[in-house]
Structure 1
Amino acid sequence: MTTQDTCFSPRQTLRCRGGRVLDLRQPQVMGILNLTPDSFFAGNRIGSEHELLRRAEQMLRAGAAVLDLGGYSSRPGAEHISADEEKKRLLPAVEAVRQTFPDAVISVDTFRAAVAAEAVAAGADMLNDISGGTLDEDMFATVGRLGVPYILMHMRGTPQTMTQLTHYEDDLVLELVRYFRDKLAELRHHGVVDVVLDPGFGFAKTPAQGHELLRRLRELHVLGLPILAGLSRKSMVYKPLGLTPEAALAGTITVNTLAVLNGARLLRVHDVAEAVQTIQLVSSTYPLPHSS
Structure 2
Amino acid sequence: MKTYTDTGKKDTRSGFGAGLTALGQTNPDVVALCADLTGSLKMDEFKANHPERFFQVGIAEANMMGLAAGMTIGGKIPFTGTFANFSTGRVYDQIRQSIAYSHKNVKICASHAGLTLGEDGATHQILEDIGLMKMLPGMTVINTCDFNQTKAATMAIAQHHGPVYLRFGRPKVPNFTPEDQNFEIGKAVQLQEGSDVTIVATGHLVWEALEAAKALNEESISAEVINIHTIKPLDTDAIVKSVKKTGCIVTAEEHNFLGGLGESVARELALHHPTPQEFVATNDTFGESGTPAQLMDKYGLNAAAIAAKAKKVMGRK
Highest Rg: 1 or 2?
2
Q: Which has the higher helix share?
A: 1
- Does 1 or 2 have the higher relative contact order (CA < 8 Å, sep 6+)? 1
Q: Which has the higher strand share?
A: 2
Q: Give the TM-score band, short-chain normalised.
A: 0.3 to 0.5
Give the TM-score, by structure 1 length.
0.32
